[in-house]
Amino acid sequence: MAGLPWGGILLSLLGTLAIWLTTYDAALSGAILLVWICSLLLRRRDPPPAPEPPARGTLGPEQTRELIEPLSQPYLMMEKGRITIANRAARDVLGPHIVGQDARVAVRHPEAIRLLDSKGGGSATIKGLSGPRSIWNVSVRPVDDARTTIELVNRTAEADISRAHTDFVANASHELRTPLSSIIGYVETMLEADVDDGRPMEPATRHRFLEIVAKEAKRLQALVEDLMSLSRVEAGKHDLPPTVLDLRELTEHVVSGVTSLHGKDRVFLDVDPRPMPVRGDTQQLDQLTRNLIDNAMKYGSKTEPVHVSVKHSDASYELTVTDKGEGIAPEHLPHLTRRFYRTDPGRSRAAGGTGLGLAIVKHIVERHRGRMDIASELGVGTTITIRLPRHVDEEAKGA
Q: Is the pLDDT confidence value at 398 over 50?
A: no
Report pLDDT digits (tens) over 107-127: 777 777 787 877 777 888 878
Phi-psi region of 97 (alpha: psi -120 to 50; beta: other; left: phi over 0): alpha
- For the chain, what is the mean pLDDT? 80
Least confident range of 15-29, 128-142, 247-261, 374-388: 15-29
Q: What is the pLDDT of residue 154?
A: 85
Task: Give the model's confidence band at 399: pLDDT under 50 very low, under 70 low, under 90 confident, else very high.
Answer: very low
| Cα Dmax for the chain | 152
Closest CA to 149 of 54, 73, 97: 73
Contact between 385 and 320 (Cβ < 8 Å): yes
Contact between 282 and 241 (Cβ < 8 Å): no
Q: Is the pLDDT confidence value at 32 over 70?
A: no
Residue with the bigger pLDDT between 314 and 52: it is 314
Q: Is the pLDDT confidence value at 273 over 70?
A: yes
Q: Is the pLDDT confidence value at 16 over 50?
A: yes
Domain 61-154, CATH among 3.30.360.10, 3.40.190.10, 3.30.450.20, 3.40.50.720: 3.30.450.20
Domain 244-398, CATH among 2.30.30.140, 1.10.3720.10, 3.90.1300.10, 3.30.565.10: 3.30.565.10
Mean pLDDT across 73-94: 86
Mean pLDDT across 275-279: 92
Mean pLDDT across 72-84: 85
> Residue 271: what are its φ and ψ, rounded to 5°?
-130, 140
Mean pLDDT across 147-156: 85
Work out the percent of the chain whose per-residue pLDDT is above 70. Answer: 77
Q: Is the pLDDT confidence value at 174 over 90?
A: no
For residue 113, give Cα distances in angstroms to 82, 98, 121, 366: 12, 15, 11, 43
- Residues 207, 209, 212, 213: is their CA dihedral positive or negative? negative
In angstroms, the CA 112 to CA 106 distance is 10
Q: Is the pLDDT confidence value at 282 over 50?
A: yes
Residue with the bigger pLDDT between 340 and 162: it is 340
Mean pLDDT across 312-329: 91
Name the DSSP letter for residue 369.
Answer: T
Q: What is the pLDDT of residue 8?
A: 57
- Residues 88, 90, 94, 99: is their CA dihedral positive or negative? negative
Q: Is the pLDDT confidence value at 370 over 90?
A: yes
In angstroms, the CA 356 to CA 341 distance is 8
Q: Is the pLDDT confidence value at 394 over 50?
A: no
- Residues 251, 254, 258, 259: is their CA dihedral positive or negative? positive
Task: Give the model's confidence band at 102: pLDDT under 50 very low, under 70 low, under 90 confident, else very high.
Answer: confident
Report pLDDT digits (tens) over 187-196: 888 888 766 6
For residue 389, give Cα distances in angstroms to 175, 182, 290, 367, 383: 35, 45, 20, 12, 20
In the chain, the N- to C-terminal Cα span, in Å, equals 76
Task: Give the model's confidence band at 364: pLDDT under 50 very low, under 70 low, under 90 confident, else very high.
Answer: very high
Residue with the bigger pLDDT between 351 and 318: it is 318
Taking the CA atoms of residue 133, residue 137, residue 143 and residue 148 in that order, the dihedral angle to the nearest 10 degrees is 20
Mean pLDDT across 34-47: 59
Domain 162-235, CATH among 3.40.50.720, 3.30.70.3340, 3.30.450.60, 1.10.287.130: 1.10.287.130
Contact between 128 and 110 (Cβ < 8 Å): no
Contact between 283 and 354 (Cβ < 8 Å): no
In angstroms, the CA 165 to CA 153 distance is 22
Residue with the bigger pLDDT between 399 and 65: it is 65
Mean pLDDT across 273-301: 91
Q: Is the pLDDT confidence value at 106 over 80?
A: no
Q: What is the pLDDT of residue 244?
A: 94
Q: What is the pLDDT of residue 226?
A: 83
Least confident range of 145-159, 264-278, 308-322: 145-159
